[in-house]
A and B are shown apart, each in its own frame.
Chain A
Amino acid sequence: MSAPENPAPAGAPPAGKPPEKKPPAPSTVGDVLKGSDIQVGGKYIGWSVRDEVRKEGGSGGLVTSILAGALEKGLVEHVVVLKKSSQYEAVPVLTSDVEDVYASAGSMHMLISNPTKYLRQFQNDATIALAVKPCDMRGIREQQKRNMIDLDKIFTIGLNCGGTMMPYKIRKVTEEVYGVNPDDVRAEEIEKGKLILETTDGEHHAQSIDELEEEDNGRRENCRYCVVKIATNADLACGNWGVMPDYAGKGTFVEVMTEKGAEFLRNAIDGGYAELKVASEPAAEARGKVNSIMLKMSAKTKEEVFVPMQSQTMTDLKKELENCIGCGACRTVCPPCACGTEAKCTAFNDPVDNYDISLFHMIRFLHLMDSCVGCGQCSDVCPADIPLARLYRKFANPMQDELNYVTGMDDRTPPFFEIKLEEVQ
């Protein structure tokens, strides 16, 4: 979990020609930094000082080291780690044991967690550090806007994310498309538009992500049109986009987004957990370029998915929702939903009603217009496989686009909160 993800974007075209004529630019400039060198806005390349963490954690184990340092030095009381039960599944677990943090090093793209709702249960009663994907952080910020999560109590390390995959599906793809025993997979990586599986015998098995996705075997649909790939909404934005060949697999690019982020990074350096150097200009540019490619691909997918939906009628919508069994899982897992048990969507919904579309869904469509973060957790858990994320975005996109409002990225007041009712003359 703690390792950064995606050295190159999922589905991105292969990088330019190999640098035969011109040697690649270095990732870093200057010497190893002191804690006091770290500043908000700074961009660095870092790695763990511990050999075993560098080996187990992706890209040098910087994230694991920052979390371990924060816990041991008392900056936080707990860390959320992903406890794996297999290569394909894991659940968030709160720990105050640094060994649990080290044991959680390394990550897989199929490990989808929901830290926002997980954090909610602790009611801001402790200081907690965790690594998050951009959509996780967007959910956390939407909860903060609704006074349910206190950002002062948590420290977040954002991880670049080109997309995640459904665990069962990727397991099946491993067996049926790659011809590999799923239990033999040791690690996976997305590089140059390919999903590469490393098996226990050290072999690498690659498939084009584009081809996988043509058969709906790749990333979750919402990841394919996600508009935030670098978690600049967290305290630190980490990942390996921008890490040049000299540090490939050995270093993590980190951008300091907040003063708290700087403090935690200084702690990792001064406590002897991590080493950092200033990221070179070409490294920062490369990171921006990867992000830009990813966003263009998302924009294309967004158009492919949502333009046809513009002609959808209420009858179509009714059809999409007709198999709803009323389990409520979509609301339970929804990261920005802050309503708790006293929610309007459930209070106004009655199973004896015979409306064409239940008030539960109608209220949620409305409610999520200014808060949906597009994480797709609702679709993941829907027992009728209703494409809920797509439906919520159908309503949210026009308003969020019109107001240039990207949910969960900053402290901007949600549009519905800004509505002022005026007395009609």
Chain B
Amino acid sequence: MKEHGKFAPLFFVGPHIILFIVFILIPSIYGIYASFTNWNLIGSPEWVGLDNYKTILADTDSTFYSQFFNGMLNTLIFVGLSVPLMIIIPLMIAVALEHKEVKFTSLFQTLIYIPGLVSISAAALIWSLIFNKQLGVVNNMFGSEHVWAATQPYAWITIIVITVWAGIGGNMIIYRAGINGVSKDLYESAEIDGAGPIRKFWNVTLPSIKFPLIYTMVMTTAGAFNVFAQPLMMTDGGPRQSTTVLMMYIRDLAFSHGESIAGVASAMAVMLGLVLLVISAIQYYIMNKNATT
């Protein structure tokens, strides 16, 4: 019997480890380091200790301070508005699709899934026209007089609409698989106890799909904190920066045409990262549990 040579494992896992070090490990460490420096992306960073954090967290006169808090606030608003819808709507669709007398389920599922494959920039072009004041569908049909992207709360509505439209397909499929896996006996015994459809949903369906529910909540929340494309394309952060999310500020500070302010941007990224880290910790815990069983 031939055992594999000493270096064989290196051949199989080695190439990926190099990729991992270059594109994940080093940039992550450097990203934290850069947040303690003054850096313009070109020269070498100059250590400034906690200055960037003091500026964005406490220096009320600084634009970076107001940008950080405005960006974080808007990101939280986005998370708060989008995540519940991205859970509830696909759950309702999945329940309807798993109704035992409903037919054409694969057709319905396909139609609802397709927008998830549309790139966000293409989707934004189409939806911007739909919400356009003179030419759009919404104002034509509902006689509304608002410039949607430039008036609140409509600016948020446009962003949330496109997000939900493009983002529920995956969750829908996870819920369908979950509901499909629920034992029919549970429903039958609930029926014998006289439970109606609503009680069956609360007492049988929901508890049985607890794991996929938690999983999608975590994933959707983490994704929502990284929001960038929808506000950039739908409202460009307006009106008056009321939809400018933190990722937009980070990108502007680090990569806009003037001198890069990558140090401050890194500090903002680390702060956003801390929020995401908590969410990731939950995710890791769930996946780990899944991996060992």
Do A and B interact? no
Binding site for A on B (CB under 8 A): none
